[in-house]
Structure 1
Amino acid sequence: MIESIYVGMTGLSSFSRGLRVIANNTTNLNTPGFKSTSLRFSDAFYSNGSYSGRQFGQLGYGVSTAGTTLSFKAGELRQTGNGLDLAIDGQGLFTLKGEDGRITYTRAGQFQFNSDGILVDQSTGAKVMGVGANGALTEISIANLKTSPGKATAVAKFTGNLSSTGTDQTINGVRVIDAAGGEHLLTVKLTNTGTTTPGSWQVDLMDGTTVVGTKQLIFQDGKPTAATAKLAFTYTPTGQAALPLTLDFGTDVTSFASGTLSTLAFASQDGYAPAELSAAAFDASGTLVLTYANGQTVKGSRLSLGRFDSADAVGSLGDNQFEALDGNAWHTGVAGGAFGSVRSGYIEISNVDLSQEFSDLVIMQRGYQASSQVISTANEMLQELFSMKSR
C-alpha cells in the first residue's frame, strides 16, 4: 500500500506538469509566432514478481514525463498594415543575431529600423539578418538609402494627333526637372511648314518668351520619320548647368487630317525631384522594397531564412525565439520553395488551439483527481491496518 501511495504521487507530479504546459499554452494565446507544446507521458519502470521460482506478472511504479514536444503547425496570418510586420507562408523562420553574436530564429516578424537604420526585432533589438553578395549573413540597413537623390529630365514624351491641315499648335506645361530637382514649365510651339516640305513642322522649344532651340519634325503617312521623331535640345535653366533634353514624338504621335483640331499633348517625362523615404516593405521573395515620396522604388537586401528537418532539432528560448539544437538538421536559404514566401503587412499569431487545450485540461484534472483518490484510498487502508493492532 505504501508503494501505491508513491505510484499515486507520480501521477500528481506528472499531471501537475501537464497543467503547467497547458497554462503556458493558453497564456500565450495572443503571442505572435508562439508555438504550442505538449507534454509526453511514459510509464515508469517495472519489477517482476515471482513465487517459488515462477514469474507471476509485473508491477509498475507509476508514470513519468519525457519532456515536451513543440508543434510547428502554422498559425493564422493576421493583417496589420505595417510593411515591416512580416509573416512566412511556409516552413521558414526569420534569422536573428543578438548582441553576443548568437544566431536564433523566430516566426514573430515584428521588425523595425533602429536609429542607425538597421532592421531589428522590436522586442529584443536583435538584428534581422539578410543574405550578402557572397551568401554570408549580413545586416539589413537603410543607412544610405533614406533619400532618393533625384534625376534630371532627359526625355519628354508626347501623345495625340497633330492635325495635318492645321497651321500651328502650342503645347503648354511641358514639365522638366533640372539637376537640382527644380521644376520648369516649358512650351512647345509647332508651325506647319508643309508648303515647302510636305508633312513638315517647325518645332520651337520655349522657356517663357525665350526660344531654347528650333528643330524640324517630318511626318510620312501620318507617322513621324525615324530621323525626326526624337528631337534633341540643350536647355540651360537659370543658374543651372546645361541640360540635354529630348522631345520624343515617336511613340504615340500621329498627323492626320482632322480640320483645325489637334489632340497633341505632353504625356510624361523621366525626371524626378529628390525625396525622402516614405515606406519600406518586403516582397514575397523577402527582398526589401523602399518607396520614396517622388514615386521611385529601390530594392535592397534579401532576408535570410532558416528551416529544420525535425522538431527535435529546435529549442525554445523565450522572447518568441528558437535555437538550433542540432545544426545538421537545419538549412539556411531565402524565400521560395521549402522555405515559403514572405507576407509583408501580416503577423502570424499563436497556433494554440484553445478547444484542444480545454479538453486536455479536463483530462489533466481528472487524472490528478484519480491519482489523489488512489493516495487517499491507500491511506485509508493503512489506517484500517493500523487500527487492527489495537483491537
Structure 2
Amino acid sequence: MLDSIYIGMTGLMGYSEGLKVIANNTANMNTPGFKSSTLQFGDLLYTDGKSDLGLGGSMSGHGFGLSTFGTTLNFNSGELRQTGNSMDLAVDGLGLFMLQAQDGSIRYTRSGQFDFNDAGELITRTGGLKVFGIDAAGNVGIVSVAGARTSAAKATGKVSFTGNLSSTATEQTVGNLKVFDVAGVEHALSLKFTNGSATTPGSWAVSILDGTTEVGNGTIQFTNGSPSADTAQLTFSYTPPGQAEMSVTLDFSKDVTSFASGNLSTLAASGGDGTPAGTLANIGFDENGFVVLTYSNGESTKGDRLLLGRFDSSDAIKAVGDNLFMSTNDSLWHQGVANSDAFGGIKPVTIEISNVDLSQEFSDLVIMQRGYQASSQVISTANDMLQELFTMKSQA
C-alpha cells in the first residue's frame, strides 16, 4: 500500500508536468514563430521478482509508476499572416532564419520580425540579435545596408523617344530633353527637326540645342513611316559646363513613326537612363530573400541575401526561449538560401504565427485532468486502506 501511494505520487507529478506544457502552449498561441511541444510519458522500472502461480506459469512484478522524458517540438508550419510591415518576414516551407547571439553563438528562429539598427545591420526587433546573410561575393556575414544609403548619380547615356513626327510638317521642336551629367546635374536640351523631304523623301535633319547653342546634329531617314535601322539612333558628344565630355545616344528605333498628321506631331522623350543622386527611401525583401533598396531618384538595387538553416532530425534542435532555437548536433544542420535545394521561399510583409492547435490542447487538458484525478484517487484509496489496517491492528 505504501508503494501504491508512491506510484500515485509519480502520476500527480507527471500530469503536473503535462499541465505545464499545455499551459505554455496555450499561453503562446499568439507568439510569432512559436512551436508547440508535447510531453513524453513512460512507465518506471519494474521489479525483477516473479510469483509462482502454481500452474506452471509466472507473473512479472509490478511497475513503479509514471515517468516523463522531456518534450518533443512540433515543427509543423503555422499560419502565414500579412502585417503591412516591410520588415516582417516568414519562411514558406523548410528553413529558419539564422541569428548571431550576444556571445557570438548561432541561434535560429521562425519569427521574422526584423529592423535595421543605426549601424545599418539587420537585427531582431526584440533582443537585437544580428541576422546572418550572404553578400554578392558569397561571403557569409551580417545582413547590412551600410554604405548603401545613397545612390550615386548616373550620367545619361541613352534617351528613348515615342510618338509620331508628322511627315507633312516643316519643323518640329521637342523641348525639355533632360540629360544628367556625372555629378547628377540636370541639363535641359531641345531637339529641332527640319523636314528634308523636298530633296530626300522621308528625311529629317536633327539639331540638338543647349539653349541656342547647337551641341550635336544628325539625320533620320524614314521608310514607309518607320526609321531606318542605320539612322534610328543618333549619338552626339555633349560637354556640360564644368564637366567632362559625355556621349549621349538618342534612340528612335521603337514606337517612333512619321505619318501625315497635319502640323500636329506627338514625338516626345519617353525616358532616359541618367539619374541624379538619391537617398534611401525604402527597404524591403523579395521572395528569394534579397534586400531590395529603393532610392528617391527612382533607382532600386538588391543587397545581401538572407541565410537560412534547416535540420535533418528534431533531435538536432532545442528551444531556448525568446522564439529562439539552438543546435544540439551541427552535423545534422544545413545552410542555404530561399528557393534553393530544400529551402522554402520568403514571404515579405508576413509573419508566421504560432502552430498551437487550441482544440488539441483543450482535449489534452481534459486527459491530464482525468489522469491527475485518478492518481489522486489512488493515493486517497491507499490511505484509507492503511487507516483500516491500523484500526484492525489496534483492535487485535
TM-score by length of 2: 0.93
Q: How far has the Cα of 1:238 moved from its partner? A: 3.9
Q: 2:97 aligns with which of 94, 97, 122?
A: 94
Of stretches 326-335 and 201-210 in structure 1, the one that deviates more from structure 2 is: 201-210
What does residue 349 of structure 1 align with? 353
Equivalent residue number for residue 327 of structure 2: 324
- CA separation of 1:135 and 1:58: change in aligned 2, threshold 3 A: farther
1:134, distance to aligned residue in structure 2 (A): 6.7
Contact (CA 8 Å) 2:53, 2:59: kept in 1 or not? no
Measure how far apart 1:32 and its partner are. 1.0
Rounded Cα–Cα distance in structure 1 between residues aligned with 2:59 and 2:314: 41
Contact 2:136/2:304 (CA < 8 Å) preserved in 1? no
In 1, Cα distance between equivalents of 2:277 and 2:140: 32
Among residues 231, 237, 240, which one is paired with 2:234 in the alignment? 231
Match of 1:376 in 2: 380
Give the structure 2 partner of residue 14 of structure 1. Answer: 14
Alignment correspondent of 2:344: 340
- Distance between the aligned counterparts of 1:155 and 1:255, measured in 2? 21
Amino acid at match of 1:190: F
Identity of aligned residues (%): 58
Q: Secondary structure at the residue paired with 1:338?
A: coil
Write the letter of the residue equivalent to 1:364: M
- Structure 2: which 5+ runs fail to align? none
- TM-score where L is the length of structure 1: 0.94
- Given candidates 278, 296, 299, the residue that maps to 1:296 is 299
Deviation at residue 49 of structure 1 after TM alignment: 3.7
> Residue 389 of structure 1 aligns to a residue in which SS?
helix
Identify which range, 164-173 or 28-37, moves more after superposition. 164-173
Kindly state the Cα deviation for residue 243 of structure 1 after the two structures are TM-superposed.
3.4
Partner of 1:44: 44
How many angstroms does 1:70 deviate by?
0.4
Structure-2 residue corresponding to 1:4: 4
Pairing partner for 1:359 from 363, 375, 395: 363
The one-character-per-residue Cα deviations of 1:18-71 (angstroms, maximum 9, x if unpaired) are 011111111111111111101011111112441488623431211111111000
Counterpart in the other structure of 1:23: 23
Partners in 1 of 2:138 and 2:159 — Cα distance?
41
The Cα shift of 1:376 comes to: 0.8
- In structure 2, how many angstroms separate the alpha carbons of the residues matched to 1:250 and 1:137? 44
State which drifts further: 88-97 or 167-176.
167-176
- The correspondence of residues 38-117 of structure 1 with structure 2, limited to 5 A, is 38-47=38-47, 48-51=49-52, 55-117=58-120
Give the SS at the match of 1:380: helix
Equivalent-residue separation in structure 2 for 1:137 and 1:318 (angstroms) = 25
Deviation at 1:135, TM superposition (A): 5.0
Question: Residues 263-287 of structure 1: CA distance to partner in whole angstroms, max 9, x if unpaired?
Answer: 2222111111111112222222222
C-alpha distance in structure 2 between counterparts of 1:152 and 1:77, whole Å: 44
- Alpha-carbon distance in structure 1 between the residues aligned to 2:89 and 2:386: 62
- 1:292 Cα deviation after fit: 1.2
What is the root-mean-square deviation of aligned Cα atoms in Å?
1.9
Cα distance in 2, alignment partners of residues 13 and 135 from structure 1: 52
Q: Look up the match of 1:200.
A: 203
Shift of 1:8: 0.3
Q: 2:194 maps to what in 1?
A: 191
Residue type of the alignment partner of 1:302: R
Structure 1 distance, partners of 2:14, 2:295, is 58
Which aligned pairs between 1:215-230 and structure 2 lie closer than 5 A?
215-230=218-233
Distance 1:330 1:52, change over 3 A: same
User: Per-residue displacement from partner, 1:331-376 (whole Å, max 9, x unpaired)?
Assistant: 1111124111111111111111111111111111111111111111
8 A Cα contact 2:168 2:260, kept in partner? yes
**Structure 1 residues 215 and 135, CA gap change in structure 2 (3 angstroms):** closer
Cα separation, 2, equivalents of 1:56 and 1:158:
97
